[in-house]
Amino acid sequence: MEKVESCAFVVQRQEDVFQCSRSALGLAVENLYSYMFVLDLKVDMTEEIKGNLEMLVEDMECECFSNNKENPEPFQYMSTEEMAAKIKEQDLIIPFGSR
């Protein structure tokens, strides 16, 4: 595998959001730029998820996107088409869970 510098974590189910945020944070700690993409989901923001996302965004300077405008910070709204383009730019794409 070529040098991987950035990765996209894609999640679509609430039950996978916490583990996805942990995985994104873990790779960010290993100096990979991690993006988290939440598709078609209103995230139930638990304290554990919120803590992981705060570390991911504030400490690791990574970004979180959602195509659902109802998701709170740190999620930035992005249309599905924009998300697809951004995901394709990453060196590694990790689909999380199943649908």
Q: pLDDT digit string (tens) for 33-89? A: 999 999 999 999 999 999 999 999 999 999 999 999 999 999 999 999 999 999 999
Residues 43 and 93: their CA atoms lie apart, in Å, by 21
Report if residue 43 sits inside a domain. Answer: yes
pTM of the model: 0.93
Query: Where residue 19 sits, what CATH number does that domain have?
Result: 3.40.1260.10
CA distances from 64 to 3, 10, 37, 53, 54 (A): 23, 10, 6, 8, 10
Give the pLDDT band of residue 12 (cuts 50, 70, 90).
very high
| Domain count along the chain | 1
Report if residue 1 sits inside a domain. Answer: no
For 37, the domain range is 6-96
Classified as helix, coil or strand, 74 is coil
